[in-house]
Amino acid sequence: MKIDKLKLTNYRNLEDLEVEPNSRLNLIFGPNGSGKTNFCEAIHFVSTGDNIKGSRQRELINWRSEYALVRLGLKNDDQVVVYLKEGEGKEIKINSKSGRQSELRSLVPTHAFVPEDLYISKGPPRRRRSLLNSHLSQLSDGYGHLLSEYNAELKKKNTLLKKDEINEDFLEVLSDRLVELGARITVERADYLRDLNQYLPEIYGRFAGTEQELNLSYSEDGLVEGSEEEIAELLSDKLERNRKKELERETSVVGPHRDKFEYLLDGKNLRTFGSQGELRTAVIATYLAYLELYEKRFDELPILVLDDILSELDRDRGEAFLENLPEEPQVFMTTATRSPSFRKLSGEFTVLKIAEGGIERQ
Protein backbone atom coordinates (compact mmCIF):
# COMPACT_ATOMS: atom_id res chain seq x y z
CA MET A 1 0.00 0.00 0.00
CA LYS A 2 1.16 3.56 -0.69
CA ILE A 3 0.18 6.94 0.66
CA ASP A 4 -0.96 9.34 -2.03
CA LYS A 5 -1.79 12.32 0.11
CA LEU A 6 -1.26 13.32 3.72
CA LYS A 7 -2.79 16.33 5.40
CA LEU A 8 -2.10 17.33 9.00
CA THR A 9 -4.01 20.01 10.85
CA ASN A 10 -2.86 21.10 14.30
CA TYR A 11 -0.96 17.87 14.80
CA ARG A 12 1.62 18.88 17.45
CA ASN A 13 3.69 21.71 15.92
CA LEU A 14 2.55 20.82 12.38
CA GLU A 15 -0.34 23.23 12.10
CA ASP A 16 -0.99 23.02 8.41
CA LEU A 17 0.89 20.48 6.38
CA GLU A 18 -0.14 18.95 3.10
CA VAL A 19 1.94 16.67 0.94
CA GLU A 20 1.64 14.30 -1.98
CA PRO A 21 4.54 12.01 -1.27
CA ASN A 22 6.63 10.05 -3.70
CA SER A 23 5.41 6.49 -3.97
CA ARG A 24 9.01 5.33 -3.47
CA LEU A 25 11.42 7.26 -1.30
CA ASN A 26 10.75 10.47 0.59
CA LEU A 27 13.67 12.21 2.27
CA ILE A 28 12.56 14.63 4.93
CA PHE A 29 14.90 17.33 6.17
CA GLY A 30 14.55 20.04 8.73
CA PRO A 31 16.48 21.49 11.64
CA ASN A 32 16.18 20.10 15.16
CA GLY A 33 12.76 20.75 16.56
CA SER A 34 11.15 21.41 13.17
CA GLY A 35 8.73 18.48 13.43
CA LYS A 36 10.36 15.53 11.61
CA THR A 37 9.63 13.10 14.42
CA ASN A 38 6.13 14.51 14.72
CA PHE A 39 5.61 13.91 11.00
CA CYS A 40 6.66 10.25 11.39
CA GLU A 41 4.50 9.91 14.46
CA ALA A 42 1.49 11.26 12.55
CA ILE A 43 1.86 8.53 9.89
CA HIS A 44 2.15 5.91 12.60
CA PHE A 45 -0.84 7.42 14.38
CA VAL A 46 -3.15 7.36 11.38
CA SER A 47 -2.09 3.82 10.48
CA THR A 48 -2.50 2.30 13.95
CA GLY A 49 -4.52 4.72 16.06
CA ASP A 50 -1.62 4.71 18.57
CA ASN A 51 1.13 7.22 18.95
CA ILE A 52 4.76 6.16 18.95
CA LYS A 53 6.03 7.92 22.00
CA GLY A 54 3.33 6.52 24.26
CA SER A 55 2.34 10.02 25.28
CA ARG A 56 -1.19 11.11 25.98
CA GLN A 57 -3.53 11.89 23.14
CA ARG A 58 -3.99 15.45 24.35
CA GLU A 59 -0.32 16.04 23.69
CA LEU A 60 -0.85 15.36 20.00
CA ILE A 61 -3.09 18.40 19.67
CA ASN A 62 -1.35 21.66 18.95
CA TRP A 63 -1.08 23.78 22.09
CA ARG A 64 -3.01 26.62 20.49
CA SER A 65 -5.83 24.43 19.23
CA GLU A 66 -8.59 22.24 20.61
CA TYR A 67 -8.48 19.57 17.93
CA ALA A 68 -6.12 17.78 15.59
CA LEU A 69 -6.85 16.16 12.28
CA VAL A 70 -4.90 13.67 10.19
CA ARG A 71 -6.17 12.89 6.70
CA LEU A 72 -4.74 10.20 4.55
CA GLY A 73 -5.45 9.34 0.94
CA LEU A 74 -4.25 5.95 -0.27
CA LYS A 75 -3.28 4.75 -3.74
CA ASN A 76 -6.40 2.60 -3.96
CA ASP A 77 -8.51 5.72 -3.24
CA ASP A 78 -9.32 4.74 0.33
CA GLN A 79 -9.55 7.74 2.63
CA VAL A 80 -8.74 7.65 6.33
CA VAL A 81 -9.42 10.48 8.74
CA VAL A 82 -8.52 10.53 12.41
CA TYR A 83 -9.96 13.38 14.40
CA LEU A 84 -8.98 14.21 17.95
CA LYS A 85 -10.84 16.67 20.09
CA GLU A 86 -9.73 17.85 23.49
CA GLY A 87 -11.52 15.99 26.25
CA GLU A 88 -13.07 13.50 23.84
CA GLY A 89 -11.88 10.25 22.33
CA LYS A 90 -10.64 9.94 18.80
CA GLU A 91 -12.96 9.59 15.90
CA ILE A 92 -11.98 7.42 12.96
CA LYS A 93 -13.53 7.70 9.53
CA ILE A 94 -12.78 5.26 6.74
CA ASN A 95 -14.23 6.34 3.40
CA SER A 96 -16.52 8.77 5.23
CA LYS A 97 -17.98 6.01 7.41
CA SER A 98 -17.27 5.57 11.07
CA GLY A 99 -14.36 3.12 11.49
CA ARG A 100 -12.67 1.16 14.24
CA GLN A 101 -9.05 1.43 15.37
CA SER A 102 -8.49 -2.28 14.70
CA GLU A 103 -9.28 -1.75 11.01
CA LEU A 104 -6.44 0.71 10.50
CA ARG A 105 -3.48 -1.66 10.66
CA SER A 106 -4.57 -3.80 7.75
CA LEU A 107 -5.69 -0.80 5.73
CA VAL A 108 -2.36 1.05 6.04
CA PRO A 109 0.36 -1.40 7.10
CA THR A 110 3.34 0.60 8.32
CA HIS A 111 6.46 -0.14 10.26
CA ALA A 112 8.24 2.59 12.15
CA PHE A 113 11.84 2.87 13.22
CA VAL A 114 12.26 5.40 16.01
CA PRO A 115 15.50 6.85 17.40
CA GLU A 116 14.93 5.10 20.75
CA ASP A 117 15.28 1.79 18.92
CA LEU A 118 19.02 2.20 19.32
CA TYR A 119 18.55 1.08 22.91
CA ILE A 120 17.29 -2.29 21.74
CA SER A 121 20.85 -3.54 21.44
CA LYS A 122 22.34 -1.46 24.21
CA GLY A 123 19.60 -1.35 26.81
CA PRO A 124 18.23 -3.84 29.35
CA PRO A 125 16.86 -7.27 28.30
CA ARG A 126 13.33 -5.90 28.35
CA ARG A 127 14.06 -4.01 25.14
CA ARG A 128 15.07 -7.08 23.17
CA ARG A 129 12.17 -9.01 24.61
CA SER A 130 9.70 -6.43 23.42
CA LEU A 131 11.36 -6.34 20.00
CA LEU A 132 10.78 -10.08 19.63
CA ASN A 133 7.25 -9.74 20.94
CA SER A 134 6.39 -7.03 18.47
CA HIS A 135 7.92 -8.89 15.50
CA LEU A 136 6.22 -12.13 16.45
CA SER A 137 2.88 -10.42 16.98
CA GLN A 138 3.06 -9.32 13.35
CA LEU A 139 4.47 -12.47 11.83
CA SER A 140 2.93 -15.30 13.80
CA ASP A 141 -0.79 -15.91 14.00
CA GLY A 142 -1.94 -16.14 17.55
CA TYR A 143 1.29 -14.98 19.22
CA GLY A 144 -0.21 -11.69 20.37
CA HIS A 145 -3.14 -13.52 21.89
CA LEU A 146 -0.86 -16.10 23.52
CA LEU A 147 1.20 -13.34 25.07
CA SER A 148 -1.77 -11.47 26.50
CA GLU A 149 -3.11 -14.69 27.95
CA TYR A 150 0.25 -15.35 29.57
CA ASN A 151 0.41 -11.82 30.96
CA ALA A 152 -3.10 -12.07 32.38
CA GLU A 153 -2.24 -15.30 34.23
CA LEU A 154 1.05 -13.81 35.38
CA LYS A 155 -0.76 -10.86 36.85
CA LYS A 156 -3.04 -13.19 38.80
CA LYS A 157 -0.09 -15.12 40.13
CA ASN A 158 1.75 -11.97 41.20
CA THR A 159 -1.34 -10.73 43.02
CA LEU A 160 -1.61 -14.08 44.77
CA LEU A 161 2.06 -14.06 45.78
CA LYS A 162 1.53 -10.74 47.54
CA LYS A 163 -1.24 -12.05 49.78
CA ASP A 164 -0.63 -12.86 53.45
CA GLU A 165 -2.37 -16.20 53.13
CA ILE A 166 -1.68 -18.03 49.92
CA ASN A 167 -4.10 -20.55 48.47
CA GLU A 168 -1.65 -23.29 47.48
CA ASP A 169 -4.10 -25.02 45.13
CA PHE A 170 -4.74 -21.86 43.19
CA LEU A 171 -1.02 -21.18 43.01
CA GLU A 172 -0.50 -24.63 41.57
CA VAL A 173 -3.20 -24.11 38.94
CA LEU A 174 -1.75 -20.78 37.89
CA SER A 175 1.78 -22.14 37.77
CA ASP A 176 0.74 -25.05 35.55
CA ARG A 177 -1.03 -22.70 33.22
CA LEU A 178 2.01 -20.40 33.06
CA VAL A 179 4.26 -23.36 32.27
CA GLU A 180 1.99 -24.45 29.44
CA LEU A 181 1.65 -20.97 27.91
CA GLY A 182 5.29 -20.18 28.66
CA ALA A 183 6.53 -23.23 26.77
CA ARG A 184 4.52 -22.22 23.72
CA ILE A 185 5.95 -18.69 23.84
CA THR A 186 9.48 -20.02 24.24
CA VAL A 187 9.14 -22.32 21.23
CA GLU A 188 7.84 -19.46 19.09
CA ARG A 189 10.69 -17.21 20.18
CA ALA A 190 13.33 -19.86 19.58
CA ASP A 191 11.92 -20.54 16.10
CA TYR A 192 11.90 -16.85 15.30
CA LEU A 193 15.49 -16.41 16.46
CA ARG A 194 16.49 -19.28 14.20
CA ASP A 195 14.82 -17.59 11.22
CA LEU A 196 16.31 -14.21 12.09
CA ASN A 197 19.79 -15.63 12.45
CA GLN A 198 19.63 -17.00 8.94
CA TYR A 199 19.73 -13.42 7.68
CA LEU A 200 21.56 -11.44 10.36
CA PRO A 201 25.19 -12.40 9.66
CA GLU A 202 24.85 -11.75 5.93
CA ILE A 203 23.06 -8.44 6.37
CA TYR A 204 25.48 -7.26 9.04
CA GLY A 205 28.36 -8.21 6.77
CA ARG A 206 27.01 -5.99 4.00
CA PHE A 207 27.18 -3.01 6.37
CA ALA A 208 30.41 -3.68 8.09
CA GLY A 209 32.19 -4.87 4.96
CA THR A 210 33.93 -7.48 7.08
CA GLU A 211 33.44 -11.11 7.89
CA GLN A 212 32.01 -10.45 11.33
CA GLU A 213 29.18 -12.69 12.39
CA LEU A 214 26.17 -11.16 14.15
CA ASN A 215 23.59 -13.24 16.00
CA LEU A 216 20.74 -12.63 18.38
CA SER A 217 20.35 -15.46 20.87
CA TYR A 218 19.03 -16.53 24.22
CA SER A 219 21.52 -15.56 26.90
CA GLU A 220 23.49 -18.42 28.36
CA ASP A 221 21.22 -19.26 31.27
CA GLY A 222 18.08 -19.23 29.08
CA LEU A 223 16.06 -22.16 27.85
CA VAL A 224 16.70 -22.78 24.20
CA GLU A 225 16.39 -26.13 22.51
CA GLY A 226 13.72 -28.74 22.73
CA SER A 227 10.14 -29.59 21.96
CA GLU A 228 7.26 -27.84 23.67
CA GLU A 229 6.95 -30.75 26.15
CA GLU A 230 10.66 -30.70 26.97
CA ILE A 231 10.64 -26.96 27.49
CA ALA A 232 7.53 -27.23 29.66
CA GLU A 233 9.33 -29.75 31.82
CA LEU A 234 12.42 -27.57 32.12
CA LEU A 235 10.27 -24.57 32.99
CA SER A 236 8.38 -26.55 35.55
CA ASP A 237 11.61 -27.74 37.22
CA LYS A 238 13.00 -24.23 37.24
CA LEU A 239 9.80 -22.99 38.82
CA GLU A 240 10.00 -25.64 41.51
CA ARG A 241 13.60 -24.71 42.32
CA ASN A 242 12.66 -21.04 42.61
CA ARG A 243 9.50 -21.56 44.60
CA LYS A 244 10.93 -20.21 47.82
CA LYS A 245 12.45 -17.24 46.09
CA GLU A 246 9.11 -16.36 44.48
CA LEU A 247 7.33 -16.51 47.82
CA GLU A 248 10.01 -14.35 49.45
CA ARG A 249 10.05 -11.77 46.70
CA GLU A 250 6.29 -11.94 46.26
CA THR A 251 6.65 -12.02 42.49
CA SER A 252 7.21 -14.49 39.64
CA VAL A 253 10.87 -14.75 38.81
CA VAL A 254 10.74 -17.63 36.33
CA GLY A 255 9.27 -17.64 32.83
CA PRO A 256 9.41 -16.02 29.42
CA HIS A 257 8.63 -12.60 30.93
CA ARG A 258 12.19 -12.80 32.25
CA ASP A 259 13.80 -14.20 29.09
CA LYS A 260 17.09 -12.59 28.18
CA PHE A 261 18.45 -12.19 24.68
CA GLU A 262 21.83 -10.85 23.65
CA TYR A 263 23.46 -9.79 20.43
CA LEU A 264 26.71 -11.58 19.81
CA LEU A 265 29.26 -10.19 17.38
CA ASP A 266 31.81 -12.86 16.64
CA GLY A 267 30.71 -14.52 19.85
CA LYS A 268 31.24 -11.42 22.02
CA ASN A 269 28.37 -9.73 23.79
CA LEU A 270 27.68 -6.58 21.82
CA ARG A 271 25.98 -4.84 24.73
CA THR A 272 29.22 -4.92 26.70
CA PHE A 273 31.76 -4.48 23.93
CA GLY A 274 30.01 -2.88 20.98
CA SER A 275 30.72 0.64 19.73
CA GLN A 276 27.84 3.06 19.22
CA GLY A 277 27.82 2.48 15.47
CA GLU A 278 28.05 -1.29 15.86
CA LEU A 279 25.15 -1.31 18.29
CA ARG A 280 23.11 0.73 15.89
CA THR A 281 24.06 -1.42 12.90
CA ALA A 282 22.93 -4.51 14.81
CA VAL A 283 19.48 -2.99 15.30
CA ILE A 284 19.23 -1.91 11.67
CA ALA A 285 20.34 -5.35 10.48
CA THR A 286 17.64 -6.92 12.68
CA TYR A 287 15.13 -4.53 11.19
CA LEU A 288 16.10 -5.48 7.63
CA ALA A 289 16.09 -9.19 8.51
CA TYR A 290 12.59 -8.77 9.95
CA LEU A 291 11.48 -7.14 6.70
CA GLU A 292 12.81 -10.09 4.70
CA LEU A 293 10.78 -12.43 6.89
CA TYR A 294 7.75 -10.16 6.67
CA GLU A 295 7.93 -10.16 2.88
CA LYS A 296 8.25 -13.94 2.82
CA ARG A 297 5.17 -14.24 4.99
CA PHE A 298 2.90 -11.63 3.38
CA ASP A 299 4.37 -11.25 -0.09
CA GLU A 300 4.58 -7.50 0.34
CA LEU A 301 6.19 -4.94 2.62
CA PRO A 302 4.68 -2.33 4.92
CA ILE A 303 5.23 1.40 4.42
CA LEU A 304 8.50 2.20 6.18
CA VAL A 305 8.80 5.21 8.46
CA LEU A 306 12.44 5.70 9.38
CA ASP A 307 13.11 8.51 11.81
CA ASP A 308 16.75 9.51 11.96
CA ILE A 309 17.95 6.03 11.10
CA LEU A 310 21.26 7.17 9.62
CA SER A 311 22.58 9.06 12.63
CA GLU A 312 25.70 7.57 14.21
CA LEU A 313 26.44 5.55 11.08
CA ASP A 314 29.64 6.36 9.21
CA ARG A 315 29.50 7.13 5.51
CA ASP A 316 30.12 3.57 4.34
CA ARG A 317 27.44 2.14 6.58
CA GLY A 318 25.01 4.89 5.67
CA GLU A 319 25.57 4.14 1.99
CA ALA A 320 25.22 0.43 2.62
CA PHE A 321 21.88 1.10 4.28
CA LEU A 322 20.56 3.11 1.35
CA GLU A 323 21.75 0.48 -1.10
CA ASN A 324 20.06 -2.24 0.92
CA LEU A 325 16.73 -0.51 1.39
CA PRO A 326 14.04 -2.79 0.02
CA GLU A 327 13.02 -1.54 -3.42
CA GLU A 328 9.31 -1.88 -3.47
CA PRO A 329 7.74 -0.20 -0.40
CA GLN A 330 7.10 3.47 0.13
CA VAL A 331 9.68 4.94 2.49
CA PHE A 332 9.66 8.07 4.65
CA MET A 333 13.09 8.82 5.99
CA THR A 334 14.09 11.81 8.08
CA THR A 335 17.50 13.31 8.78
CA ALA A 336 18.52 16.59 10.35
CA THR A 337 21.38 17.06 7.88
CA ARG A 338 21.91 16.07 4.28
CA SER A 339 24.13 13.11 4.78
CA PRO A 340 27.01 12.58 2.32
CA SER A 341 25.62 9.06 1.88
CA PHE A 342 22.83 10.52 -0.23
CA ARG A 343 25.05 10.92 -3.25
CA LYS A 344 24.71 7.15 -3.56
CA LEU A 345 20.96 7.37 -3.99
CA SER A 346 19.67 6.09 -7.25
CA GLY A 347 16.15 5.71 -8.52
CA GLU A 348 13.18 7.79 -7.74
CA PHE A 349 12.97 10.04 -4.70
CA THR A 350 11.55 13.29 -3.42
CA VAL A 351 13.20 15.68 -1.02
CA LEU A 352 10.86 17.41 1.40
CA LYS A 353 11.70 20.15 3.85
CA ILE A 354 9.82 20.71 7.07
CA ALA A 355 9.74 24.24 8.45
CA GLU A 356 7.34 26.47 10.36
CA GLY A 357 4.72 23.80 10.78
CA GLY A 358 4.48 22.97 7.08
CA ILE A 359 6.33 21.08 4.38
CA GLU A 360 7.63 21.90 0.92
CA ARG A 361 9.26 20.08 -1.97
CA GLN A 362 12.88 20.96 -2.64
Cα 21 off chain centre by: 23
The entry of Mg ion, ligand ATP, none that residue 74 binds, CB within 5 to 8 Å by partner kind: none
Q: DSSP readout, 294-335?
A: HHHHHSS-PEEEEESTTTT--HHHHHHHHHHS-SSS-EEEEE
Residue 12 interacts with, from Mg ion, ligand ATP, none (CB under 5-8 Å by kind): ligand ATP
Restricted to residues 5-64, the positions that interact with Mg ion (CB under 5 A) are 36-37
Using DSSP, state whether 254 is helix, strand or coil: coil
d(CA 208, CA 188): 30
Number of chain residues interacting with ligand ATP (CB under 6 A) = 15
357 binds, among ligand ATP, Mg ion, none (CB under 5 to 8 A by kind): none
Asked if 35 is part of the footprint of ligand ATP (rule: CB under 6 A), the reply reads: yes
We find the least distance from the C-beta atom of residue 73 to ligand ATP, in angstroms, to be 23
Question: Could you tell me the smallest distance in angstroms from the CB atom of residue 114 to Mg ion?
Answer: 9
Least gap, CB of 9 to ligand ATP (angstroms): 12
Q: Does residue 326 touch ligand ATP according to CB under 6 A?
A: no
* Distance of closest approach, residue 17 Cβ to ligand ATP, in angstroms: 12
Task: Concatenate the DSSP letters of all residues of 116-164 into one string.
Answer: GGGHHHHS-HHHHHHHHHHHHHHHSTTHHHHHHHHHHHHHHHHHHHTSS
Q: Which of 34, 47, 48, 186 binds ligand ATP (CB under 6 A)?
A: 34
The answer to whether 331 and 24 are in contact (CB under 8 A) is yes
Which one of ligand ATP, Mg ion, none is in contact with 240 (Cβ closer than 5 to 8 A by kind)? none
Q: CB-wise, 21 or 182, nearer to ligand ATP? A: 21
63 binds, among Mg ion, ligand ATP, none (CB under 5 to 8 A by kind): ligand ATP
39, containing H or E segment: helix 36-48
Residue 335 binds Mg ion (CB under 5 A): no
Looking at beta carbons, which residue is closest to Mg ion?
Answer: 37
Stretch binding ligand ATP (CB under 6 A), from 58-66, 91-99, 118-126, 257-265: 58-66
Concatenated DSSP letters of 205-229? HHHH-S---EEEEE-TTS--SS-HH
Closer CB to Mg ion, 115 or 125, in the complex: 115
What single letter denotes the amino acid at residue 87? G
Q: What is the per-residue burial (b if ≥16 Cβ within 10 Å, else e) of 147-178?
A: bebbeebbebbeebbeeeeeeeeebeebbebb
> Does 62 sit near ligand ATP (CB under 6 A)?
yes
CA distances from 259 to 153, 180, 303, 325 (A): 17, 16, 30, 31
Q: Residue with the closest Cβ to ligand ATP? A: 37
Give yes or no for residue 30 binding ligand ATP (CB under 6 A).
Answer: yes
Residue 343 CB neighbour total at 10 angstroms = 10
Query: Which residues are near ligand ATP by CB under 6 A?
Result: 12-13, 30, 32-38, 59, 61-63, 336
